[in-house]
């Protein structure tokens, strides 16, 4: 009994310490997942507590379950709108991109470590895929708003590339253990089986669960447990029949998350807790498993492999994968940089140890070093690189918080929270009449909170800096109100000017805009043809703003896309609806 209580105590304290360490993450600029690893290492055999933990099978069991939970949560938060702009490039990255990374990096690793090519390729396969836990955590909680094309591609890639990476690792382990028993045809058959069963069972389970949830009546907290248990069941069942459980559980989450009903009102919040707990437990256990001195003994290998992966292998894979989809070079550069490695490579590195592959411990130690370096170099520089590659867009049109209140099985009211920031247009104004562009019947103030206390709103109430206002809104006005409440001072001038000084209707003709009278007369515009046939310069003036952007963009538009008219003028996409149609377009001068 004492031993059991000691285990409870140590485990609870480690998780507690990991969560408390999260408060330092933002201050230190260190990714939170790295702090979880550090806590585990400090508790390990060479750390403060000196806990000896070398149970690779237990670590693999925990890792598989935790990753399934993380992928389920990621699927629940993935909107169908992401598929509109990111599905094709993400699928290409998750298949060809992983394969290209493994081949290019594998050749380098084989030369660097001076090992058999099978071992070199296995090392590359272990670190060849991006990590869902790291990508979801750092992109969604990093405070950086990326354009939808880049964000959707990165998130969908990280959720979909695990099956192919696991298949490559499994195949290469078999190739190392039993070289003569493996064939290319057998590998391809296994690939089709894994992806086919994963796709089929994931979609089927998601559909059935989305239809079941509205028909049952449970306590509010039970729905998340039901979805989690169902997700793990789908994961295990798919694995048992030879499919990819990771793909299945992710797709099931996507289907459920995009069919919201009253019964799933609290699911995302509870699932968020499950996902964070999974990440904390997983990274602490992996930290316990590693021996820091062994990692330090091969640090130069980890540095060389990380550098080659970031600067050579990943860019080659990304460029060859997404360039056919008309991605801009700056988008390709950012996607190449944010090839985050996390729990997946370390979990995959456990498999060769369990299979008794030669040099397995060397591969594990190197993989751990690669993950740490990736989290430090790539994870902590996302804001800097987003600005450098110009894929960051203003996030001042997002409410601080929102909650859905379901008043029936199919009807809901959404409450939005907005905070009055320094320099905001809202300061000194009445909260009910905050915008004359919104019908009074579509905006109702729910609560005004000042210094943690509710304030009674009367005719003389004026908003002050730091106030929190809750609105019940009808229609899509949240982004408009958010801009009224957010900072409009000179400190944010660069972001405020992002979309230009004028807003245009998508249906307005270029030739009807007074800004271009002189250009139309001189016809000194950039007439580089965007189609296979030459188009006279005068044709552009007969196009609407939307038609001109679509013709010159050659890919699905997202907020933040810029199309030049000439060296001085450019059009900037500001708002896109759920179906991909333009709402507002900015006109920017230089």
Reported as a single tens digit per residue, the pLDDT across 505-536 is: 888 888 787 777 767 666 544 444 444 444 44
Reported as a single tens digit per residue, the pLDDT across 42-58 is: 888 887 777 888 888 88
In a domain, 145, yes or no: no
Look at the chain and report how many structural domains it folds into.
Answer: 4
C-alpha span between 214 and 207 (Å, rounded) = 12
| Percentage with pLDDT > 90 across the chain | 19
Per-residue pLDDT, 162: 78
Assess whether 468 and 532 both reside in one domain.
no
Spatial contact of 81 and 148, defined as CB atoms under 8 Å apart = yes
480 CB burial (10 A radius; 0-12, 13-18, 19+): middle
| Percentage with pLDDT > 70 across the chain | 87
Residues 83-92, mean pLDDT to the nearest whole number: 85
In a domain, 194, yes or no: yes
Residues 83-93, mean pLDDT to the nearest whole number: 86
Assess whether 312 and 415 both reside in one domain.
no
Assess whether 368 and 383 both reside in one domain.
yes
Per-residue pLDDT, 522: 66
In a domain, 567, yes or no: yes
Spatial contact of 343 and 571, defined as CB atoms under 8 Å apart = no
In a domain, 38, yes or no: no
Per-residue pLDDT, 45: 81
- The residues pairing with 392 across neighbouring beta strands, listed in sequence order, are 146
- 3 state SS of 509: strand
Reported as a single tens digit per residue, the pLDDT across 336-367 is: 998 888 878 888 899 999 988 888 899 999 99
Tell me: pLDDT of 492 over 50: no
Residues 75-94, mean pLDDT to the nearest whole number: 84
Assess whether 319 and 174 both reside in one domain.
yes
The residue from 366, 388, 410 where one domain ends is 388
* pTM of the predicted protein model: 0.80
326: left (phi over 0), alpha (psi -120 to 50) or beta: left
Per-residue pLDDT, 146: 84
In a domain, 436, yes or no: yes
Tell me: pLDDT of 428 over 50: yes
In a domain, 153, yes or no: no
Number of Cβ within a 10 Å radius of residue 52: 11
Assess whether 374 and 435 both reside in one domain.
no
In this predicted structure, which of 102-116, 195-209, 400-414, 522-536 has the lowest mean pLDDT? Answer: 522-536
Per-residue pLDDT, 180: 73
Assess whether 122 and 192 both reside in one domain.
yes
C-alpha span between 250 and 271 (Å, rounded) = 13
In a domain, 290, yes or no: yes
Residues 173-193, mean pLDDT to the nearest whole number: 80
Per-residue pLDDT, 305: 95
Assess whether 169 and 280 both reside in one domain.
yes
Q: Name the strand (E) or helix (H) holding 192.
A: helix 184-212
Assess whether 436 and 573 both reside in one domain.
no
- The residues pairing with 431 across neighbouring beta strands, listed in sequence order, are none
- The residues pairing with 416 across neighbouring beta strands, listed in sequence order, are 402, 471
Q: Quote the DSSP letter at residue 356.
A: T
Per-residue pLDDT, 440: 74
In a domain, 556, yes or no: yes
In terms of Cα–Cα distance, which of 172, 181, 190 is closest to 358?
Answer: 172
- Percent composition of the chain: helix, strand, coil (DSSP 3-state, to 5): 60, 10, 30
Per-residue pLDDT, 409: 65
- 3 state SS of 379: helix
The residue from 388, 418, 444 where one domain ends is 388
Spatial contact of 571 and 586, defined as CB atoms under 8 Å apart = yes
Assess whether 174 and 79 both reside in one domain.
yes
Residue 451: give its domain's CATH number.
Answer: 3.30.70.1450
Per-residue pLDDT, 42: 84
Q: Quote the DSSP letter at residue 378.
A: T
Assess whether 367 and 409 both reside in one domain.
no
In this predicted structure, which of 48-57, 141-150, 204-213, 460-469 has the lowest mean pLDDT? Answer: 141-150
Per-residue pLDDT, 487: 60
C-alpha span between 177 and 355 (Å, rounded) = 8
Strand ranges (DSSP E) for 346-463? 401-406, 412-419, 443-450, 453-454
- State the average pLDDT for the chain: 82
Residues 194-205, mean pLDDT to the nearest whole number: 92
Per-residue pLDDT, 535: 46
Reported as a single tens digit per residue, the pLDDT across 223-278 is: 888 899 999 999 999 999 988 888 899 899 989 988 877 666 667 778 878 888 88
Residue 324: give its domain's CATH number.
Answer: 1.20.1530.20
Cα dist. 2→9, 43, 55 in Å?
10, 20, 21
Edge-first strand listing for the sheet containing 401-406 = 401-406, 412-419, 468-473, 443-450, 453-454
The residue from 462, 494, 526 where one domain ends is 494
Tell me: pLDDT of 415 over 60: yes
Assess whether 487 and 509 both reside in one domain.
no
Assess whether 250 and 200 both reside in one domain.
yes
Residue 577: give its domain's CATH number.
Answer: 3.30.465.10
Structural domain of residue 21, as residue ranges? 1-30
Cα dist. 180→107, 183, 357, 407 in Å?
21, 8, 15, 64
Per-residue pLDDT, 104: 95
């Amino acid at each position: 009994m004492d031993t059991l209580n000691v285990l409870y105590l140590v485990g609870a304290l480690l998780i507690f310490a990991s969560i408390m360490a999260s408060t330092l993450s933002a201050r230190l600029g260190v990714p939170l997942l790295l702090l979880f690893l550090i806590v585990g290492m400090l508790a390990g055999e060479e750390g403060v507590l000196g806990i000896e933990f070398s149970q690779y099978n237990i670590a693999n069991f925990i890792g598989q379950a935790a990753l399934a939970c993380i992928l389920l949560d990621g699927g629940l938060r993935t909107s169908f709108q992401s598929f509109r702009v990111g599905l094709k490039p993400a699928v290409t990255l998750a298949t060809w991109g992983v394969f290209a990374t493994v081949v290019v990096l594998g050749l380098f690793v084989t030369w660097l470590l001076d090992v058999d090519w099978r071992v070199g390729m296995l090392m590359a396969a272990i670190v060849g895929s991006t990590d869902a836990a790291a990508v979801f955590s750092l992109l969604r909680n990093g405070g950086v708003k990326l354009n939808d094309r880049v964000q959707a591609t990165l998130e969908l890639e990280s959720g979909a590339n695990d099956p192919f990476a696991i298949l490559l690792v499994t195949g290469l382990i078999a190739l190392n253990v039993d070289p003569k028993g493996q064939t290319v045809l057998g590998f391809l058959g296994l690939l089709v089986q894994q992806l086919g069963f994963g796709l089929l069972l994931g979609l089927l389970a998601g559909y059935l669960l989305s239809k079941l949830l509205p028909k049952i009546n449970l306590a509010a907290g039970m729905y998340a447990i039901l979805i989690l248990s169902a997700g793990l069941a789908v994961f295990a069942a798919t694995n048992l029949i030879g499919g990819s459980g990771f793909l299945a559980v992710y797709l099931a989450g996507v289907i459920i998350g995009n069919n919201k009903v009253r019964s799933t009102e609290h699911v995302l919040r509870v699932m968020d807790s499950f996902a964070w707990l999974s990440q904390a437990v997983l990274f602490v256990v992996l930290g316990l498993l590693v021996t820091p001195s062994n990692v330090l003994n091969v640090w130069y290998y980890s540095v060389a492999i990380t550098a080659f992966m970031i600067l050579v292998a990943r860019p080659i894979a990304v460029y060859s994968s997404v360039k056919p989809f008309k991605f801009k070079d700056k988008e390709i550069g950012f996607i190449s940089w944010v090839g985050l490695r996390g729990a997946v490579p370390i979990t995959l590195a456990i498999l060769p140890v369990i299979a008794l592959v030669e040099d397995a411990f060397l591969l594990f130690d190197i993989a751990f070093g690669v993950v740490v370096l990736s989290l430090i170099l790539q994870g902590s520089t996302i804001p800097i690189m987003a600005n450098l590659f110009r894929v960051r867009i203003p996030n001042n049109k997002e409410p601080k918080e929102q909650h859905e209140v379901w008043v029936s099985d199919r009807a809901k009211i959404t409450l939005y929270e907005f905070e009055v920031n320094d320099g905001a247009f809202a300061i000194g104004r009445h909260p009910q009449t905050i915008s004359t562009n919104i019908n009074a019947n579509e905006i109702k103030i729910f609560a005004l909170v000042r210094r943690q206390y509710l304030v009674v709103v009367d005719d003389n109430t004026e908003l002050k800096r730091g106030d929190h206002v809750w609105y019940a809104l009808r229609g899509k006005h949240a982004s408009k109100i958010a801009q009224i409440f957010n900072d409009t001072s000179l400190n944010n001038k660069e972001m405020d000017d992002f979309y230009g000084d004028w807003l245009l209707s998508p249906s307005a003709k270029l030739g009807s805009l007074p800004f271009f009278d002189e250009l139309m007369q001189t016809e000194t515009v950039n007439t580089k043809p965007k189609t296979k046939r030459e188009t006279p310069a005068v044709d552009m003036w007969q196009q609407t703003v939307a038609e001109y952007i679509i013709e010159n963009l050659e890919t699905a538009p997202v907020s933040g896309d810029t199309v030049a008219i000439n060296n001085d003028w450019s059009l900037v996409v500001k708002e896109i609806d759920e179906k991909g149609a333009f709402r507002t377009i900015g006109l920017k001068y230089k």
